A = this chain, B = another copy of it.
């Protein structure tokens, strides 16, 4: 069974579900939204599901015994079942967080707590770190998958090692292997780079990490929204992703973890709803996932996220992936055809998602973005929270275009068309 990608006609149909995409005018032009890499837009069905829950079903969950509370708890746990199924996991291995960033911080602090012996560390031996132990991350990471590990190293005395990217900006299993040692406790890496759109060989990296017995943490922020994902099949121990990049609301993300690891991991945030018995001296904690969910949760956000997942599933993640591969290829090819514009990361023809960053010779990224903006084209400019990778590429900032299921080839072409005028407008040398 081969996948039929979406086509322009279907996408134009889909766009009708997104008022912002059809109704917004910027400086007199209809908006072309190419900034999904930062945050996606939201379809009516998702916003309506959240509003309806809030106005008709809201109550505290896992606490109240009254009818409304019991119903709200059902909504909330059904949402967990839906989102966890979407990534191939069972509900016990999916913890709600505020965003992907918080999921990574949860791991970083839980490991500090294992080291300090606090927060329910009875079975936390394998999460303890000390001088001589090593944490591995890569040069391609978003700051969210770098700084929490730097600070974990600072708190525990462990050493942080950084895997260099290859000349295409890719993380390779070989480079990871070369950075690992017997003392490596954890390897944190990204599935898809939010700067280059390059896709990491996850099973390859996991295999290397397993050879030295290191835990693996996958930053799946840019993969889960754009391709079918099965975390257990990928073999990673932990993974994080965010709702707002996949048609869902802001304010919610998730940490996936193998259930036995989550149950052994010390807690992070503490407070109500995640405890069994509390005295003034001591607290005992429940098992995953509520173990990590202190205080009143993101209830309506979970409900809305589940609706977003249903929307994506109805279309089919394989079809979305195939369509975005087309858009990504068109972007990459189009960019390399423009004089004085450099495509970062993999060359056209190499696998990438619908995302491409560029450097325009003689024109600063913010000036590029400004010109595109007044033409109604919304892209991201800056370091995209990846300063080390930009430094490696010899840049401070770049311009990024990123697509989703609601973008047409025409959107890509309008971007390329405006891009071709940038150097002329700014009278860049040789333009």
Contacts and interface: CB of A to CB of B under 8 A. Distances in A.
Given A113-B151, A281-B150, A101 B271 contact: yes
B31 A242 contact: no
A90 B33 CA distance: 34
A63 B27 contact: no
B251 A98 contact: yes
B388 A67 contact: no
Nearest to A70: B373
Nearest to A18: B55
Interface residues of A, number: 104
A19 B56 contact: yes
Contacts of A277: 387
A48 interface: yes
Nearest to A34: B66
A174 interface: no
Interface in A101-120: 101-102, 104-105, 109, 112-113, 116-119
Given A295-B99, A387-B279, A378 B150 contact: no
A301 interface: yes
Q: Which of A104, A147, A253, A391 has the most CB of B within 10 A?
A: A147
A50 to B, nearest CB: 7
A38 interface: yes
A162 to B, nearest CB: 4
A431 interface: no
Interface in A9-44: 18-20, 23-24, 26-27, 31, 33, 35, 38-39, 41-42, 44
A250 interface: yes
B66 A54 contact: no
Given A105-B269, A300-B250, A20 B113 contact: no
A419 to B, nearest CB: 14
Interface stretch (A136-144, A224-232, A333-341): A136-144
Contacts of A151: 113, 118-119, 270, 283
Given A35-B66, A50-B51, A271 B150 contact: no
20 contacts: A20-B56, A20-B68, A24-B56, A26-B67, A39-B296, A42-B58, A64-B378, A66-B379, A68-B378, A99-B295, A99-B296, A101-B269, A101-B294, A101-B296, A102-B269, A112-B112, A118-B154, A150-B281, A251-B298, A251-B300
